[in-house]
Structure formats: structure tokens, C-alpha cells
Amino acid sequence: MYANLKSLKFEASASGFIRIVLENDVTERPMTTVFTIAEAEHALKGWLGTSEFNPYFDDINYLTKFAGDGIKMQHFDGGCSRRIYGTEDYEQGRFSQELYFIFPAHQAAHLLTLTISVAKRLKAANDKNKADSEDLSVPYYQRLRRDYNTYNARWEYTVSPETIQVWARLSAPKIRVQFEREAARFYKEAMHDSRNLHPFTLKSDVRRLARIAKNASDGDMVTVHISPDHAEREDTPMSFYWWIEKNRQRYFNGGIIAHPTRAQSKESAEKAGLEWPEDADENYQHRPITGYEYSTHT
């Protein structure tokens, strides 16, 4: 997980609403979305991974979804004009922006739990104060006056930048690429084999597996295992079998296969010094092999 969260603040009010204010590395200003206590309790399940379903929460111009990797937000501006990028012209209409605030949400779940608890206490005190001040069974001159400090009570907590940096480090991808059973030797030989028409393709295939592993890691170690696909042969470069291991389970698997390329015509075969069989025009598999190209399969 590559965290992009820059700031995060929780607010609770006596009216029973919870605000979450946050920024990432592309937002130009803090984004604020508002929830009721009931909505926040369900959103918390999305962060904890215990929700039966994962809805968007509608806050007028915002649609917000909670998940284990943070918050996904759809922001609708409600209709306006905006400058067309790279020009002096403006366009009118309703525009939306999709924003991802990526961070290990389970690290912040206890803060949302605390915010919900505070919001409940503030609302309970406000409701009691309101009920006491409007109790018709008590003479007007004996009723408690409405306490507007209770009515306007607000609590907030801002996560420190240092804490956000710790979250980012904890969730940063951790991977290793492990060559099994002499696979490293076969890989080096294949990279220098003259029959390998595009050595960089084999190298980029291994790098692609590393990227898959990085995307699968949320701070836990993910290992790419690479092993020979078959017994060593002189007539073809080695192909490879790979699998990605996460939490001691096979997460993904496939092969990096050396596919033969064949001469397209008799003239090209003769130019390469290869024999052109009589049935090669009708049977592609009988055409002489000019080299090999690697490709990844899953």
C-alpha cells in the first residue's frame, strides 16, 4: 500500500453529527464530509472489514466509501464553470472528481470509535438539556434555562503528521524475489542466450511480478518465487514457473514461457541459413525456429 494521506481530522458535535476532514497529495484544500452517528457506526465496519456490504454515504456533494485501504470519495461541485486545462476558455456544467485517501484504515479505526462515543455523549447531554428546558410539567419560572454551551459543544482531534508518517511506513510494500532450484543460473543464461530475441522482455516480466507483489503488500512481506519450468534442455532456453506467496498462502501463479518464433517465408529461412521443409508452407509448426520470445502467463 502506497499511502497518500497528508492530514486527517475528526470532529463531533452536540447535534449528533460527525465530520471527517482530510487531504491527500493531490487535493488543493481539505475535503470535509459529514455523517450521522448511525452512518459513522456502519462506516467504521468498512474500516474494520466487518461490514456485510460496503455502501457509499451521500453528503450532498460527496459520496464517500470506507474500506480497509482508507477512503474513496466522489466529489460533485454542484454546477459551476471551470477553466479548460491549457487554454483561456471556460466550460459550464456539473463536474465530478474521484479522490482516493489511501492509508491503513485499521490504524485510524479507534479514533473513529472515539469520535462516535464523544458524539453520543455530547448529543445525550444536549438532548437532556433541551428536554429539561422544555418540560411543560414544570412551571416556566422553575425550568432550567437552555445551556447554549451544551447546544454548541464541539470536539475535534487532528492526527499528527508524525503519526501519519508512521502509518505510511507500516503499510509500505515489503517484497522479495526468490529464485528456486538453480532458477537464477537459468535466468542469467537465458538473458545471454543468442536465441532469446528480446532479453529485456524477460527482465521486464520479472519486474512486473515484483510490481504485482508490491500492490498485494499492505506492510506484510510478499514473496515472488521463481523456479525452472522443466528439465534443462539444449534445444530451447529455460522457461520459468512463478508463484506469489502472501501470508504463507499462494496468492497468484503462472509462468514465464519461452515461445518459439518461426521463419515467415522460405526466403527469410534461407537468409538465416535454415532449411525450409517441403510442407512448411502448409504447416506452420514445421517451419524452422529463428529464436525465442518470453511472455508471462497466469
Q: What are 234-283's pLDDT values in tens digits?
A: 888 999 999 999 988 998 999 999 999 888 888 877 777 888 887 877 78
Q: Do 130 and 267 lie in a common domain?
A: no
pLDDT at 80: 59
In this structure, are residues 104 and 6 in contact, taking their beta carbons and an 8 Å threshold?
no
pLDDT at 24: 94
Euclidean distance between CA atoms 21 and 31, whole angstroms: 6
Q: Do 276 and 167 lie in a common domain?
A: no
Overall residue count recorded for the chain in this entry: 298
Alpha helices for 100-217 (secondary structure H): 105-133, 148-151, 161-171, 183-192, 199-216
pLDDT at 258: 94
pLDDT at 29: 87
State the residue range of the domain holding 247. 174-297
Q: Do 135 and 275 lie in a common domain?
A: no
Q: Do 127 and 258 lie in a common domain?
A: no
Q: Do 149 and 229 lie in a common domain?
A: no
- Average confidence score pLDDT of the chain: 89
Q: Do 11 and 142 lie in a common domain?
A: yes
Which residues of the chain register pLDDT less than 70? 77-86, 90-95, 141
pLDDT at 78: 58
Q: What is the pTM of this model?
A: 0.74
Q: Do 144 and 192 lie in a common domain?
A: no
Amino acid at site 259: H
CATH number at residue 113: 2.30.31
Task: Kindly report the backbone phi and psi dihedral angles of residue 287, in degrees, each rounded to the nearest multiple of 5, phi listed first.
Answer: -70, 145
Q: Do 167 and 181 lie in a common domain?
A: no
Euclidean distance between CA atoms 81 and 89, whole angstroms: 10
Q: Do 157 and 246 lie in a common domain?
A: no
Q: Do 204 and 164 lie in a common domain?
A: no
Euclidean distance between CA atoms 109 and 115, whole angstroms: 10
pLDDT at 273: 80
Instruction: Give how many domains the chain has, as a whole number.
Output: 2
pLDDT at 142: 73
